[in-house]
């Protein structure tokens, strides 16, 4: 059956159009001011609604094993929540595998975890946890045979890379069409502070934030930017940027023409360090941590002036009950991460578009088109042009809703955004033409989602 989306306002990253949109065999096939209805069509009434490319969340962690715990959302519950929030593609960051494992080891694990489970399309970012000749040689087939055209490395945690390893891997990425992504925090500075706090008995959640203040992140951002510059301007993507100083380094590099992009997440735009002083402070344990309130405005400037290119979630869900059990008396025992995959679109729309900070087209760019272009998904994803996948979200810009975890579709037990009022809400999500959520009701099915083989990186700026 063909589907006709009638009477809506189409919004893409370039503009707005009062057009009907026809879907055939899961693809957008036609757009026109008026498309006549016939018996072969199911009509979706989009009057007073915005019709936008479905969200692309390029930073999730489903089914991740972080050593001390396993996250509670797998590829079914995680993508179900994503779909109900207007997201139609996720790119999941692989967790670490056993020491010394190959790149294909984790790829096979993730294919196994996602297959038959995902309700929307998905891909994975690879992870570099050590550097040797075998790993360097494995990168090319990962890109060209397996469709994995981005990898992450870490500057902290157990499998952090040193500067020499980073230079070698960045050079190889640059040769192979890979976009490097980095978790930038200065590990030595964090360990130094943690040791002091431990001695002083400082174990409450607020000390998590003080153990990795924004200078730890900003230093690592500036270092990685300069290493990428040394590696023949290897393209670099900073994940989960949380503060104004780090943003300034990105701004300087971009102004100089260096191929650097940065992502932030709703938690760094909307939540601040004071949340660690609450009785339920463990709900907000993540890295980088929430920042002083004064940073939030700086992050919004990054959204409006184009220094930030994407908004993702870093969805990594550990129930509050588990956090309490594991870390009641010591924040260092708390698994790190926040849920949020279902609320990204509504939060950015409400606090970005409804407040007048950004246009609706800029919203589409941040949530869908820019991530699609950077990560090799465009133009099949992130576009409303004929030939694109019919991955769509219908948004009601006037609908007011209050976020309640009871209404969400993840497998956890809380939302960090509980009680936040939104104006602008996703009312229908289509994945390759199939309605996967309608008015908050999940209507998709496990296994509908397909692995997307991503194209090598091309700088489209
Ligand atoms: Mn991270
Ligand atoms: Mn992450």
State the CATH number of the domain containing residue 11: 2.30.40.10
- Predicted confidence band of residue 1 (pLDDT cuts 50, 70, 90): confident
Which pLDDT belongs to residue 410? 98
Same domain, 169 and 95: yes
Q: Which two tokens stand for residue 90?
A: 């996720």
Residue 461 has pLDDT above 90, yes or no: no
Give the pLDDT confidence of 249-302 residue by residue, as tens digits.
Answer: 999 999 999 999 999 999 999 999 999 999 999 999 999 999 999 999 999 999
**Domain annotation covers residue 224:** yes
Q: Which two tokens stand for residue 111?
A: 């294919």
For the residues 87-112, what does the mean pLDDT come to? 98
Dihedral pair phi/psi, residue 269, rounded to 5°: -95, -25
Q: Which two tokens stand for residue 317?
A: 């869900």
Q: Which two tokens stand for residue 228?
A: 């990428």
What is the domain extent for residue 428? 2-52+391-401+423-441
Same domain, 156 and 179: yes
Same domain, 7 and 131: no
Omega of the bond leading into 288 within 30 degrees of 0 (cis): yes
How far away, in angstroms, is 288 Cα from ligand 2 center?
10
Which pLDDT belongs to residue 273? 98
How far away, in angstroms, is 287 Cα from ligand 1 center?
6
**Share above pLDDT 70 across residues of the chain, in percent, rounded to a whole number:** 100
Same domain, 164 and 270: yes
**Domain annotation covers residue 123:** yes
Q: Considering every ligand atom, which ligand is closest to the CA of 59?
A: 2
**Domain annotation covers residue 381:** no
Q: Which two tokens stand for residue 210?
A: 């003080």
State the CATH number of the domain containing residue 365: 3.20.20.140
Per DSSP, helices labelled H in 49-124 are: 75-84, 103-114
Residue 115 has pLDDT above 90, yes or no: yes
Q: Considering every ligand atom, which ligand is closest to the CA of 61?
A: 2
Same domain, 18 and 128: no
Same domain, 279 and 397: no
Same domain, 73 and 19: no
How far away, in angstroms, is 266 Cα from ligand 1 center?
14
Total domain count, the chain: 2
How far away, in angstroms, is 385 Cα from ligand 2 center?
31
Q: Considering every ligand atom, which ligand is closest to the CA of 212?
A: 1
How far away, in angstroms, is 59 Cα from ligand 1 center?
9
How far away, in angstroms, is 282 Cα from ligand 2 center?
18
- Predicted confidence band of residue 47 (pLDDT cuts 50, 70, 90): very high
How far away, in angstroms, is 153 Cα from ligand 1 center?
10
Same domain, 68 and 41: no
Same domain, 62 and 152: yes
Which helix (H) or strand (E) covers residue 188, if one does? helix 187-199
How far away, in angstroms, is 60 Cα from ligand 2 center?
6
3-state secondary structure 382-430: CCCCCCCECCEEEEEEEEEEECCHHHCCCCCCCCCCCCCEEEEEEEEEE
How far away, in angstroms, is 344 Cα from ligand 1 center?
17
CA gap 199, 191 in Å, rounded: 12
Residue 189 has pLDDT above 90, yes or no: yes
Same domain, 159 and 11: no
First vs last C-alpha separation in the chain:
38
Closest by alpha carbon to 355, among 448, 258, 423?
A: 423
Give the pLDDT confidence of 321-378 residue by residue, as tens digits.
Answer: 999 999 999 999 999 999 999 999 999 999 999 999 999 999 999 999 999 999 999 9
Give the pLDDT confidence of 157-180 residue by residue, as tens digits.
Answer: 999 999 999 999 999 999 999 999
Burial grade of 17 (CB within 10 A; 0-12, 13-18, 19 or more):
middle
Closest by alpha carbon to 79, among 124, 27, 110, 114?
A: 114
CA gap 450, 380 in Å, rounded: 13
Q: Are residues 139 and 175 in contact, defined by beta-carbon separation less than 8 angstroms?
A: no
**Domain annotation covers residue 264:** yes
Q: What mean pLDDT is reported for the chain?
A: 98
**Domain annotation covers residue 410:** no
**Domain annotation covers residue 407:** no
Give the pLDDT confidence of 60-75 residue by residue, as tens digits.
Answer: 999 999 999 999 999 9
**Domain annotation covers residue 447:** no
- Relative orientation angle of helices 294-305 and 244-255, to the nearest 10 degrees: 20
**Domain annotation covers residue 338:** yes
Q: Considering every ligand atom, which ligand is closest to the CA of 288?
A: 1
Instruction: Determine the Cα angle at 351 with ends 349 and 355, to 5°.
Output: 100
Same domain, 101 and 139: yes
């Amino acid at each position: 059956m063909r589907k006709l989306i009638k009477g809506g306002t189409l919004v893409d990253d370039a503009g707005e159009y009062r057009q009907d949109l026809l879907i055939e065999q899961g693809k957008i096939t036609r757009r026109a001011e008026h498309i006549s209805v016939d018996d072969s069509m199911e009509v979706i009434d989009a009057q007073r609604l915005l019709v936008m490319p479905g969200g692309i969340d390029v930073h999730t962690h489903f089914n991740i094993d972080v050593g001390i715990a396993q996250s509670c959302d797998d590829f079914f519950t995680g993508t179900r929540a994503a779909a109900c929030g207007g997201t139609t593609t996720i790119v999941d960051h692989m967790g670490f595998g056993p020491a010394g494992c190959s790149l294909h080891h984790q790829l096979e694990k993730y294919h196994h975890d996602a297959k038959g489970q995902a309700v929307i399309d998905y891909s994975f970012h690879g992870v570099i946890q050590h550097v040797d000749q075998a790993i360097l040689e494995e990168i090319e087939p990962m890109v060209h045979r397996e469709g994995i055209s981005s990898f992450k490395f870490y500057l902290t945690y157990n499998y952090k890379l040193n500067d020499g390893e980073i230079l070698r891997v960045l050079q190889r990425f640059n040769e192979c069409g890979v976009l490097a992504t980095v978790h930038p925090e200065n590990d030595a500075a964090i360990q130094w502070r943690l040791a002091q706090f431990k001695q002083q008995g400082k174990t409450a959640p607020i000390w998590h934030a003080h153990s990795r203040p924004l200078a730890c992140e900003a230093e690592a951002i500036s270092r990685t930017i300069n290493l990428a510059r040394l590696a023949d301007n290897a393209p670099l993507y900073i994940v989960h940027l949380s503060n104004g100083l780090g943003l300034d380094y990105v701004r300087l590099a971009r102004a100089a023409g260096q191929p650097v992009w940065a992502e932030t997440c709703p938690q760094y735009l909307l939540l601040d360090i004071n949340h660690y002083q609450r009785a339920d402070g463990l709900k907000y344990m993540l890295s980088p941590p929430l920042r002083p309130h004064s940073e939030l405005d700086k992050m919004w400037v990054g959204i409006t002036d184009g220094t930030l290119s994407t908004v993702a979630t870093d969805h990594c869900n550990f129930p509050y009950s588990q956090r309490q059990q594991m870390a009641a008396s010591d924040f260092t025992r708390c698994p790190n991460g926040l849920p949020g995959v279902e609320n990204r679109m509504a939060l950015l729309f409400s606090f970005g578009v409804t407040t007048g900070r950004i246009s609706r087209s800029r919203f589409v760019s941040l949530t869908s088109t820019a991530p699609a272009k950077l990560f090799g998904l465009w133009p099949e994803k992130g576009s409303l042009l004929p030939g694109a996948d019919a991955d769509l979200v219908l948004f009601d810009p006037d609908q007011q809703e209050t976020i309640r975890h009871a209404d969400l579709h993840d497998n956890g037990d809380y939302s960090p955004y509980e009680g936040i009022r939104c104006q602008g809400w996703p009312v229908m999500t289509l994945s390759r033409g199939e309605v996967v959520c309608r008015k908050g009701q999940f209507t998709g099915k496990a296994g509908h989602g397909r692995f997307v083989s991503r194209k090598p990186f091309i700088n489209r700026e």
